[in-house]
Structure 1
């Protein structure tokens, strides 16, 4: 589903980030970069898609997500913070996959964001 994609995983929990990296690679991603904070993430412009945790050590990633959106980079939120009222208002059409999530749900959401599967599958 993710064949040929370069994916940024913005996640501060190391074991979760490693699991997401493995999932992305198993589904065809050619490059997966892990970033534990906004400094490591840079501007995200080198990637085809991103998986973004909404809070990194208490720091909001919503401004970073807004920059991804402005640049046209597809992304999904993967977060334990599931009050998606603000997300739905600020990021219409962006999927929030709540933690704990199944690997299939996450991969399908990323694939749908990239136009790889019908949105009814996500």
Structure 2
């Protein structure tokens, strides 16, 4: 599934895909987003610190991951939705819309 295209299909204007955390940090992306879809691991590194920065910045986000150990997520981010892989585009869109306080456009 092409998440970038899915986002565009549902009206996202500017979609940024980061392949590692260094790329995210260089661009100060956490302060530029209207919303984010965060994988728990990016380039072999945990994204939990990045997710904490998103939360501190007030950026709504969801986790989308294939990781099976979700205990830390449930404790640290109890209010953040986790969409587990494999997921459908509809599941992901609904989760992001919900995080943003909206209903998904169908």
> Structure 1 length normalisation: TM-score?
0.78
Answer whether contact 1:82 1:96 (CA < 8 A) is retained. Answer: no
1:36-47 residue pairs with structure 2 within 5 A?
A: 36-42=19-25, 43=28, 44-47=30-33
- Is the counterpart of residue 76 in structure 1 residue 62 in structure 2? yes
Question: What SS does the aligned partner of 2:16 have?
Answer: strand
Q: Deviations over 1:70-92 (max 9, x none)?
A: 11100000111132221011011
Structure (1 or 2) with the greater strand fraction = 1
- 1:37-89 deviation per Cα after TM superposition (whole angstroms, max 9, x unaligned): 11212332111011011012321000110010111100000111132221011
Structure 1 residue ranges (4+ consecutive) displaced by more than 4 angstroms after TM superposition:
none
SS in 1 for 2:15: strand
Kept in 2, the 8 Å contact 1:48–1:74? The answer is yes
Q: Does 1:28 align with 2:11?
A: yes
* Stretches of structure 2 lacking an aligned partner (at least 5 in a row): none
Per-residue Cα deviation, 1:6-61 (whole angstroms, up to 9, x for no partner)? xxxxxxxxxx5xx0000000011111111001121233211101101101232100
Q: How many residues align?
A: 101
Residues in 1 aligned to 2:43 and 2:16: alpha-carbon distance in whole angstroms: 19
Structure 1 unmatched ranges of 5 or more: 1-15
